[in-house]
Amino acid sequence: MVGPTRSWHFAVFALLAPVSAWAREIVVDPRGPIPTITQALHLARAGDRILVRAGRYREPTLLVDRRVEIVGEGWPVVDAGGDHEAIRVTADSVVIRGLVIQGVGPSTTDDRAGIKLIEVHGCTIEGNRLRQTFFGIYLAKSSGCRIAGNRIQGNGLTEVLSGNAIHLWSSNGVTIEGNQLSGHRDGIYLEFTDHSIIRQNRSTGNLRYGVHFMFSHDCEYLDNTFADNGAGVAVMYSHGVVMTGNRFEHSWGGAAYGLLLKDITDSRVSGNLFGDNSVGLYAEGTNRVAVSGNRFERNGWALKIMADAQDNRFEDNVFLGNSFDVTTNGTSNSSRFERNYWDHYTGYDLDGDGIGDVPFHPVRLFALLVQQNEPALILLRSSFVDLLDLAERVLPVLTPETLVDRSPRMRPPHA
C-alpha cells in the first residue's frame, strides 16, 4: 500500500513532466498537489517552465532567482495583499507571461512594484495585466530586457503616492513596446538608461508625464501615443535622442506641454503629431536638434523656443490652426526655419515653385507681449491685436529677425 506521503510525491512527480531532455513543466493549480507559485519556485531548476492555472494566489513576494519561464493559463491572479512587492526577479533570461498582478500598495519609503527586476539580463515581461500596483514594472541596473504587450492600470490620485507604470533606472538596451499604460505618476520613466527603444506604446491619463526621461542617451521613441497626461512628455539632460512617428495630444494647463525639451543636444524630432496642447513643443537649453516633418495642429502655442535654445533646425513642418505659431523670450536666436507650411502665411508665389516669395515671420508681436505678461491673452481676439500685428509685419522692429522662414511653403508637404 502506498502511503499518503508517497502518493503526494508521485503526484508532484507527475506534474513535473519533461518538456525537453533538460527542462520540465511544473503545473501550479489551487486544487492540485502544487497549489502555490512559491512552492513551484522552490521545486524549479534552471530552464524549467512553470504553468500557473486560473485561480487567485495570495502569496508573499515571489523571488525568481533562477532562469525559469512563468506562464499563466486563464489569467491567474497574483495578489500581493497590499504591503509588499508581488514578484522580484534576480536571475537572467526569466520570462513572465499571462499573469494578472495586483494589490501592491503605495509606500513613501520603498519602491514596491508588481514586477521588479534587479541586475538581470535578457528577461522578457510580456502580455501581463497589472492593476492597482504602486510601481508596475521596475528595472534597476538591467540590460537586454523586453517589456511588451502589458496592460498596466493604476488608480493614483496624487503624485506622491503614485509610482510609474514602467520605471527604468541605470539600465541599457531595453525594448519597451506595445504596452498600454494609465493612471500612474508617469507612464514610462527612464533615468541613466541608454540605447533603448520605446515604440508603439499608448500612455494616457497619467498624473504627470506620459514619458519622462533624464540622463538617458541614444534612445529611440517610435510610433507611441501620449495623450491626456497631466503635463505631457518631458525629455531632459540627454543627447542622441530620436523621436519619430509619435502623437503628443491633449495636454492642457499652465505647465503642460505636448513635448518639453530641456538641455537636449544632437537629437532628432521628426514625423510626429502635436495636437490640441497648451504648448506643442517647448525647447529650453536645447542645441543642434533637427525638428522636421512634424504637424502642429490646434495648439495654443505650437512652439516656444527660449533664447538659450540655439542652432536648432525647423524644416518641412506643418502649422495649422494654432493660436500662436512661435514665441520666444529673447530678441536673438540662432535656430533656423526653412520650408515650413504656415496657415497664417499670406504671401505669394509668382514663379510657381511652391515656395513663397516673401519671408514669413512666425513670431507675432502679440505673442511676445503674452510671453512677458500672460494676462494680456484676454485681448487675443480683439481688433487691437490685429492692428498691432499688422504694424509689426509692415515694419518689424521687436520680433526676432533670426526667427524667420525665408522659404515658406505655399502648400503642406505631401498635400
pLDDT value of residue 403: 81
Distances (CA, A) of 73 to 45, 54, 66, 146: 21, 6, 21, 21
Percent of the chain whose predicted confidence (pLDDT) is above 90:
76
Helix, strand or coil, per DSSP, at residue 247: strand
Per-residue pLDDT tens over the stretch 256-310: 999 999 999 999 999 999 999 999 999 999 999 999 999 999 999 999 999 899 9
| β-strand pairing of 232-239 with 16-18 | unpaired
Residue the block writes with cell 520613466: 189
Q: For residue 361, what pLDDT band results from cuts at 50, 70 and 90? A: confident
Q: Judge whether residue 6 has pLDDT over 70.
A: no
> Distance between CA atoms of 240 and 275, rounded to whole angstroms?
25
Q: Is the CB of residue 7 less than 8 Å from the CB of residue 27?
A: no
> Distance between CA atoms of 303 and 296, rounded to whole angstroms?
9
Look up residue 229 and give its three cell numbers.
Answer: 497626461
**Where would I find the beta strands (DSSP E) of 183-230?**
186-191, 197-199, 202-204, 209-214, 220-222, 225-227
CA atoms within 13 A on the CB side of 317: 28
Q: Alpha-carbon torsion 314, 274, 129, 25, what sign?
A: negative
Longest dimension (CA), the chain: 106
Q: Alpha-carbon torsion 65, 66, 69, 72, what sign?
A: negative
Q: Name which of 234-243, 321-330, 384-393, 396-405 the model is least confident about.
A: 384-393
Per-residue pLDDT tens over the stretch 23-37: 899 999 999 999 999
pLDDT value of residue 35: 98
pLDDT value of residue 307: 87
Full set of structural domains in the chain with CATH: 22-230 (2.160.20.10), 258-415 (no CATH)
Q: Is the CB of residue 319 less than 8 Å from the CB of residue 325?
A: yes
Q: For residue 82, what pLDDT band results from cuts at 50, 70 and 90? A: confident
Nearest alpha carbon to residue 151 among 180, 122, 175, 123: 180
Mean pLDDT of the region 224-245: 98
Q: Judge whether residue 1 has pLDDT over 70.
A: no
pLDDT value of residue 129: 98
Instruction: Kindly state the helix (H) or strand (E) to which residue 115 belongs, with its residue range.
Output: strand 113-118
Look up residue 378 and give its three cell numbers.
Answer: 484676454
Mean pLDDT of the region 157-171: 94
Q: For residue 22, what pLDDT band results from cuts at 50, 70 and 90? A: confident
Per-residue pLDDT tens over the stretch 194-216: 999 999 999 999 999 999 999 99
pLDDT value of residue 379: 56
pLDDT value of residue 363: 81
Mean pLDDT of all residues belonging to the chain: 89
